[in-house]
């Protein structure tokens, strides 16, 4: 790891920290005082710097606006029980960022540059990391094409930015899902596994349709036959079926979620049978009918675990019993929180502790 003091730092002259209501943190409402800013030109990344959070100048001809070369990540830092700050699994997030960048013909970010930028930013804005159970500092790295040119081409210029925002505990009523059997979010061979902006923009319309019909989110299915489960709009999806934890196996249409991987790792450590495989709608319907499907939940950075209350399959609603204190999803969620905050042993080496001087 490069010495974090090597990055140029321009501190804000007027912190907004005192104006933030940490008791009422809407997701993404408050952006922290500083951000990372790096630039790619002449075939290489320049050393990024830490600057006050502000608007960036841009050209309306900027390629990312027209042709979609924009990739981001979503990760978190936590205040630990002993007061230290932990960035959760940054190397795994970095690897996924580079996988997304590669798919979008964008230059990869060197690991030392990524980690140095993260550590320096969190060190400077460490007071923005909220305390309290379930609270965290959400971290948003983003890379986008910045070349101003209207021709359809791979950009030669890029910007790399990291912003952070304090977020409170994620509270949501259990989700009512509509299994989508008409619209397609992505297809195998496409960009579904990448965290690129277009994936989300293309999903807005069918999600809005589902919400107007009384649902909270869409559960996407395969693009060919709409017979097999892919993922929920913002999360991977998991089921407890016949006493086993099952989730769709990864393919190029499904995001390789870091929370997904963490939960599967913890499940195996708990001696819970795990199956990553193709899951058909017919199998889920049968599980609802015979009672063998006992839990359904989403897994993602924002919620960690998001309970699913019902699923609408081909116009028919199926309900899932609310989780009990002994349910797998609540147990694994607590285990994950305990590891992140240092209450439980980090036997998998997931925590990246930031030394605050």
Residue where the block lists tokens 């030669």: 156
355 pLDDT higher than 90? no
CATH number of 4-169+350-354: 3.30.470.10
124 pLDDT higher than 70? yes
Query: Is residue 257 classed as helix, strand or coil in its secondary structure?
Result: coil
Instruction: Let me know if 225 is exposed, middle or buried by CB neighbors in 10 A (0-12, 13-18, 19+).
Output: exposed
Q: How far apart are CA 276 and CA 274, in angstroms?
A: 7
Q: How far apart are CA 237 and CA 229, in angstroms?
A: 9
Q: What is the pLDDT of residue 6?
A: 87
Task: Determine how many CB atoms are found less than 10 A away from the CB of residue 81.
Answer: 10
Q: How far apart are CA 15 and CA 70, in angstroms?
A: 29
Residue where the block lists tokens 């804000």: 12
212 pLDDT higher than 70? yes
pLDDT in tens, 91-119: 999 999 999 999 999 999 999 999 999 99
Q: For the domain with range 175-323, which CATH number is right: 1.20.58.110, 3.10.400.10, 3.20.10.10, 3.90.1150.10? A: 3.20.10.10
* Domain spans of the chain, in order of start: 4-169+350-354, 175-323
65 pLDDT higher than 60? yes
Q: How far apart are CA 187 and CA 228, in angstroms?
A: 12
Quick one: tokens of 330? Answer: 């609540």
pLDDT in tens, 13-33: 999 999 999 988 888 889 999
Q: What is the pLDDT of residue 3?
A: 39
| Interstrand relation of 229-232 and 49-52 (parallel, antiparallel or unpaired) | unpaired
- pLDDT tier at 5 (50, 70, 90 boundaries)? low
pLDDT in tens, 150-166: 999 999 999 999 999 99
């Amino acid at each position: 790891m490069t010495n974090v003091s090597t990055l140029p730092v321009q501190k804000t002259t007027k912190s907004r920290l005192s104006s933030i209501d940490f008791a009422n943190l809407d997701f993404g409402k408050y952006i922290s005082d500083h951000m990372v800013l790096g630039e790619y030109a002449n075939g290489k990344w320049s050393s990024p710097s830490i600057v006050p959070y502000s608007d960036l100048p841009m050209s309306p001809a900027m390629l990312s606006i027209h042709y979609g070369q924009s990739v981001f990540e979503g990760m978190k830092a936590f205040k630990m029980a002993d007061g230290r700050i932990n960035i959760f699994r940054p190397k795994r997030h970095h690897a996924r960022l580079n996988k997304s960048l590669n798919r979008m013909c964008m230059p990869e970010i060197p690991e030392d540059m990524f980690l140095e930028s993260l550590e320096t930013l969190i060190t400077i804005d460490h007071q923005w990391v909220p305390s309290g159970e379930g609270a965290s500092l959400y971290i948003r790295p983003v890379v986008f094409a910045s070349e101003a040119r209207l021709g359809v081409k791979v950009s030669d210029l890029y910007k790399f930015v990291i912003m952070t925002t304090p977020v409170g505990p994620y509270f949501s009523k259990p989700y009512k899902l509509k299994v989508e059997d008409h619209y397609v979010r992505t297809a195998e061979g496409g960009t579904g596994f990448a965290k690129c902006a277009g994936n989300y923009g293309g999903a807005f319309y069918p999600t809005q349709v589902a919400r107007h019909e009384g649902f909270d989110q869409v559960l996407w299915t395969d693009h060919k036959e709409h017979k097999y489960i892919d993922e929920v709009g913002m999360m991977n999806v998991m089921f407890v079926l016949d006493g086993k934890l099952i989730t769709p196996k990864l393919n190029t249409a499904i995001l390789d979620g870091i929370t997904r991987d963490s939960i599967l790792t913890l499940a195996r450590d708990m001696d819970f049978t795990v199956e990553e495989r193709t899951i058909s709608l017919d199998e889920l319907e049968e599980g609802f009918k015979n009672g063998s499907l006992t839990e359904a939940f989403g897994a993602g950075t924002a919620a960690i675990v998001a309970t699913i209350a019902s699923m609408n399959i081909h116009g028919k609603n199926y309900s899932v019993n609310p989780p009990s204190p002994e349910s797998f999803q609540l147990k694994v969620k607590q285990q994950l929180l305990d590891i992140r905050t240092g209450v439980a042993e980090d036997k998998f080496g997931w925590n990246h502790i930031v030394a605050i001087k």
